[in-house]
Structure 1
Amino acid sequence: MQTILITGTSSGFGLEMARHFLARNWRVVATMRRPDPELLPASDALRILPLDVTSEESIAAAVEAAGPIDVLVNNAGIGVVGAFEATPMAHVRKVFETNTFGVMAMCHAVIPQMRERRSGVIVNVTSSVTLAALPLAAAYTASKQAIEGFTGSLAHELGHFGVRAKLVEPGYSPTTAFSRNAGIVIQDLIPPAYRDFAAPIFDAYASPAATTTETDVAEAVSAAIDDTTGRLHFPAGADAVALYNARFG
């Protein structure tokens, strides 16, 4: 049995990933800020650990408690939706602390053991906004774009040691509440000058042409883990696949 550590498993994509890999007979280390054992079925193959990816002490404790990690999935994320000029820089920094620096810190903590074993996979979950930027999501997009470049560089560095780095890019999911997770109220970030511009955008979010499910993302993560080629990008969901094909052909 291989061990997979997944960040951000209290809801959404991360929770479904934990269920998915338990069903595939993996040892699953499900991490979340506030552990809730009732979210996942009891299993000898499951460990639920507290983890705050913005705290180096919390990361070190979780990685030590997890033991040898074969696969790291950096899924934890928060977001902010609104006009950039109305977004306080404190909110922007908060998004980067989790989505960018949190991912980097997790990789920093796990890479040494993978390098020494000369095996392992790191999957960084970003977003389809890295394939086609959306309005009213500038800070979130920037935080995820940074991880795209970071992961591409890691793939070169770590491939020398038999360690693979991959990207999973989920499309739009109406069940994901990144702004709520960050404690940010969207309406506060839409000043009067932007309301006419923002209204049709929020209408489109409410009735999207295509959406991505939690299962789509779990399956894309599985495909990324299983892939032994140099492929880097794994879009998840029909909308993300369409954006990926439009950009890369």
Structure 2
Amino acid sequence: MKTVLITGCSSGYGLETARHFLAQGWHVVATMRTPRWDLLPASERLTVLPLDVTDPASIASALQAAGPIDVLVNNAGLGLFGAFEATPLATVREIFEANTFGTMAMTQAVLPQFRERRAGRVVNVTSSATLAPMPLVAAYTASKTAIEGFTASLAHELQAFNVRVKLVEPGYAPTTRFTENGAQRMQGLIPEAYAPYAQSVFATLGSASAFTVESDVAEAVWLAANDASPRLHYPAGADAVALARQAA
């Protein structure tokens, strides 16, 4: 039985991905800052662990408790809408700590076991904003774009050890807690001068004809985790697929 460790399982993509892997018969290590067993179906194949990807001690503790894993899914992260002009650099650093350095730290922590076994998969969840950047998410897009470059380079670096590194690029999903989870962080980031423009952007997002749903991402992660080919990009959701085709 294979084991997958997924970060950020308290909601959204991470939670749905954990459910999907459980349904496929895998042992799932679902991690979140505050563990909640009630979010997932009861199963002997489920382990729920506390994990803060910005805390090295938390990472070490979670990986020790998880034991050997076959796949790491780096999904944990923070969302941010706001005008960059009004975004404090401390907030930008907070976004990078979770989205960029957290992903790098988790990856670095699992690579020794993957390299020694000459097997393993790292699946990094980024965003379709890296394919077609949109306004009012400059800091968020930068944090995810950094992971795109990191993953592409690392894929070459680890090929000799039979370790595959993949990118799942979800589109916009209004049903996730992207905005809700960052509401406090976003206060004051749309100054009056930007308000009319921001309203126009949000109206456009709300009227889009194609959205990504959590199951789209779970299926893309599943495909990436089980694909032994050198393929790097896995767009998830109708809108992300369309953007990927435009960028190709």
Q: In the aligned structure 2, how far is the partner of 1:9 from the partner of 1:86?
A: 30
Q: In the aligned structure 1, how far is the partner of 2:43 from the partner of 2:185?
A: 37
Residues 185-218 of structure 1: CA deviation (Å, up to 9, x unaligned): 5451111111121111011222222100111001
Task: Give % identity.
Answer: 65
Q: Structure 1 residues 53, 185: CA separation in 2 closer, same or farther (over 3 Å shift)?
A: closer
Shift of 1:227: 1.5
Q: Which residue of 2 aligns with 1:160?
A: 160
Shift of 1:184: 3.0
The answer as to whether partners of 2:217 and 2:237 remain within 8 angstroms in 1 is yes
Q: Which residue of 2 aligns with 1:39?
A: 39
Residues 155-196 of structure 1: CA deviation (Å, up to 9, x unaligned): 001111000000000000002233432453545111111112
Q: In the aligned structure 2, how far is the partner of 1:236 from the partner of 1:78?
A: 19
Residues 40-71 of structure 1: CA deviation (Å, up to 9, x unaligned): 11111000000000000000000010000100
The answer as to whether partners of 1:80 and 1:91 remain within 8 angstroms in 2 is no
Aligned to 2:43, what secondary structure does the other structure show? coil
Q: In the aligned structure 1, how far is the partner of 2:6 from the partner of 2:196?
A: 40
Q: Structure 1 residues 26, 236: CA separation in 2 closer, same or farther (over 3 Å shift)?
A: same
Q: In the aligned structure 2, how far is the partner of 1:185 from the partner of 1:139?
A: 13
> Which 5+ residue runs of structure 1 have no aligned equivalent?
none
Aligned to 1:244, what secondary structure does the other structure show? helix
> Which 5+ residue runs of structure 2 have no aligned equivalent?
none
The answer as to whether partners of 2:29 and 2:46 remain within 8 angstroms in 1 is yes
Q: Which residue of 2 aligns with 1:194?
A: 194
1:204 is matched by which residue type in structure 2? T
Please give the TM-score of this superposition, normalised by the length of structure 2.
0.97
Q: Which residue of 1 aligns with 2:68?
A: 68
The answer as to whether partners of 2:11 and 2:177 remain within 8 angstroms in 1 is no
Please give the TM-score of this superposition, normalised by the length of structure 1.
0.97
Shift of 1:230: 1.4
- The runs of 4+ residues in structure 1 deviating greater than 6 Å are none
Q: Which residue of 2 aligns with 1:234?
A: 234
Alignment of 1:195-214 (within 5 A): 195-214=195-214
Q: Which residue of 2 aligns with 1:245?
A: 245
Q: In the aligned structure 2, how far is the partner of 1:23 from the partner of 1:219?
A: 12
Which stretch of structure 1 is more off in the superposition, 191-200 or 235-244?
Answer: 191-200
